[in-house]
Amino acid sequence: MPFFSFYFVFTNVVYVIEKYLDWRQYLKLKIRKLPHDCKEYVEEEEFKKIQYYGEDKMKYNFVHSTFDHILHLVQLQYGLLPYVWKLAGLGLAYFNLSPDSEIVQTLFFLGIYSVLNSILSLPWSTYYTFVLEEKHGFNKTTLRTFILDIIKSYAIGIVLGVPFISLFISIIKWGGQNFYLYVWAFLCVFQLFIITIYPTWIQPLFNKFTPLEDGELKTEIEKLAQRTEFPLTKIYVVDGSTRSSHSNAYFYGFFKNKRIVLFDTLLKQMNRDEILAILGHEIGHYKKNHILITLGIVQIQLFAMLFLYGNMINNSELYRSFGFYDSKPTIIGFLLFNMVYSPVEHVLGFCMNYLSRKNEFEADTYASKLGYPNQLKSGLIKIHKENKSTLVPDPLYCTYHYTHPPLMERLKGIEKSKNE
């Protein structure tokens, strides 16, 4: 099978399709007249600001994604992966390490590759934060915080990445023909480990979490948790305003140890009942088992992917197609397999987006049934207005990209649930 040609054609087809959808969305964002069905929820000047923000983001994404696409094609055509792998091999020789140290060479390879990609992506992230977000009043990040975030991210990547990659390759080497079973088990455990430590150990490196002060809001949240049998243990406020004026709320934790996190920006933007409605929506995800179902589906997909990878790991033609003629490094095989597996990933991603939108409707209905339909509607309207989220998305663009339904569809769904 001509793996390289297959992937080269597929990635270009995907690019053309996505740019066509971007163009459709861009035309929607050029609308300046307030649609009739939005007049009840937003003023005309607010609508224009939302449209300008969406238009600027779309222009940025178009240029950025086109740059990345061309760069990716150049890297493929001129064999960047084989070159960097050989460069990593020279690193072994420089440090007088055994040329058979595949794990060390892999770490060198990933280190070089990630540094190169970071250098290329830095101008884009800098522009997005300090120009685009600044222009529309969202950016609160200082240059010092921006630089420290990059350093912290690299440090975390090294601390977690080195043992992860080492174990990943070691398990594949040790596991024999059925290695995919052991790798799957390892990745499941690692995912649960990351989910556990991220909110308690990693995210506090970037944001400050403080317990919600005693008062009416805290009391009402605790009452809501008791009423819905939600195993709430703690309520935190995170200083999201130090980086952005965007707002959010979420919960985390396993089993009987759930913790709610409220962005300080959310507390400033909403009243008590609207916050309770938003939390009712999040509790709806828990009561409907959306998170567990999604996690289970992801594990099934992961197992299927690793099983197929197990049947491709020694395919010499796969390596030769991308310029690896003399060796079949484990990590390279995994990266190449993911490239040729990408059509399946796109289909699965499309299906998961559909499932996610369905789950959002169900969580909205749950919050509405708790007695917060009007408060949920006003809360969602405020979130969309404050975050300047698109109010008139293109249907095809929305179907392909969105994990959450458009605001107007959610409001109709909530109104419908009131009469059921």
Q: How far is CA 66 from CA 38, 340, 346, 366, in A?
A: 33, 21, 18, 41
Residue 278 neighbours by CB under 8 Å, 6+ apart: 249, 266, 270, 367, 376, 379, 380, 383
Angle between helices 143-175 and 179-197 (to 10 degrees): 150
Report yes or no: 272 and 217 within 8 Å, Cβ to Cβ.
yes
Instruction: Give the β-pairing of 249-252 and 209-211.
Output: unpaired
142 Cβ contact partners less than 8 Å away, ≥ 6 residues apart? none
Cα dist from 310 to 137, 178, 262, 332, whole Å: 49, 8, 43, 14
Active-site residue identified among 22, 102, 364, 394: 364
Q: Which residue has the tokens 């690896």?
A: 324
Q: Would you call 364 a catalytic residue per the annotation?
A: yes
Nearest to 168 by CA among 109, 107, 108, 84: 107
For residue 293, what are its two tokens?
A: 């179902």
Closest to 183 measured CA to CA, from 327, 267, 303, 43:
303
Q: List beta partners, residue 250.
A: 261
Between the alpha carbon of residue 416 and those of residues 127, 366, 368, 409, 411, the distances in Å are 42, 12, 10, 10, 9
The angle formed by the CA atoms of residues 382, 293 and 257, to the nearest 5 degrees, is: 70
- Separation CA 106–CA 112 (nearest Å): 10
Contact 237, 267 (CB under 8 A): yes
Would residue 44 show up in a list of annotated catalytic residues for this protein?
no
From the number of C-beta atoms within 10 Å of its C-beta (0-12, 13-18, 19+), residue 217 rates as middle
Please give the Cα distance from 259 to 227 (Å, whole number).
16
Of the residues 282, 360, 362, 394, which is catalytic?
Answer: 282
Are 280 and 367 within 8 A, CB to CB? yes
Nearest to 332 by CA among 143, 153, 37, 102: 102
Report yes or no: 401 and 40 within 8 Å, Cβ to Cβ: no
**Catalytic residue ranges:** 282, 364
